[in-house]
Amino acid sequence: MSRDLFDVIVLAGGSSSRFGADKCDFEIDGQTMLDRVTSNFLNPIIVTSKERRVSKGVQILDPDRRGPLAGVAKAIQFLEKPKVFITGCDFPFLKRSLVELICSKPELVSTTITCGKIQPLLSCYSTQFLVSRLRSSPSLTDVVYSSPSVYVVGTREIGMVDPSLKSLINVNRITDLYSQRSKLFWHSSILSNTKSFFVL
């Protein structure tokens, strides 16, 4: 695996109330959902509500579980790279190639859309911009929308590195692992405060 050119934060501290069990520890093909995500990276920063058995990465305990933004704030001191990719154990089919695509964009935030909405946990952020917005933003989604420039990676572009689009599957309920997802196509786009334009 090549050296990561961006830091990675994996949030693993949710209550998993809709799933019915701790989904980060749930196994798919003999591998936990958390390990399936972290295996894509060299040294992920894992923010977790409890100590976990993981094969790699740095664990930061967050027993208060005050939400994604609070979890990210706990990880800030460990960031060293100019960009940081943020995700959760909710995306057990995530491919590294998609992460590299998302983080290759020059905008302050590059993101994706799942279920018709911006997905802040499949997004890459300028570390400097993220730090500047932590205290004044109520949520990670607000961080995305407050950015002067946002690149939204469309499904046609994603399909070039993940033809199945399975990287986009967000597992909230156990049935999400087995349901057939229709492919909702949208164009890649670059958004700023003054203009927006689209590319296929």
What does the domain layout of the chain look like in residue ranges?
7-199
Q: What is the mean pLDDT of residues 139-167?
A: 94
Tell which wins on pLDDT, 97 or 155: 97
Return the minimum-mean-pLDDT range out of 81-85, 106-110, 168-172, 192-196: 192-196
Q: In whole numbers, what is the pLDDT of the chain averaged over residues?
A: 86
d(CA 63, CA 113): 29
pLDDT in tens, 188-200: 767 665 444 444 3
d(CA 112, CA 124): 10
Asked if 73 and 38 count as a contact pair (C-beta separation under 8 A), the reply is no
Ranges 22-31, 62-71, 140-149, most confident: 140-149
Q: Which of 192, 113, 197, 200 is nearest to 152 (CA)?
A: 113
| pTM of this prediction exceeds 0.85 | yes
Asked if 110 and 123 count as a contact pair (C-beta separation under 8 A), the reply is yes
55 pLDDT band (50/70/90 cuts)? confident
Q: What is the mean pLDDT of residues 83-111?
A: 96
pLDDT of residue 183: 53
Return the minimum-mean-pLDDT range out of 3-12, 32-41, 56-65, 98-107: 56-65
State whether CATH 3.90.550.10 applies to domain 7-199. yes
Q: What is the mean pLDDT of residues 46-50?
A: 92
pLDDT of residue 181: 57
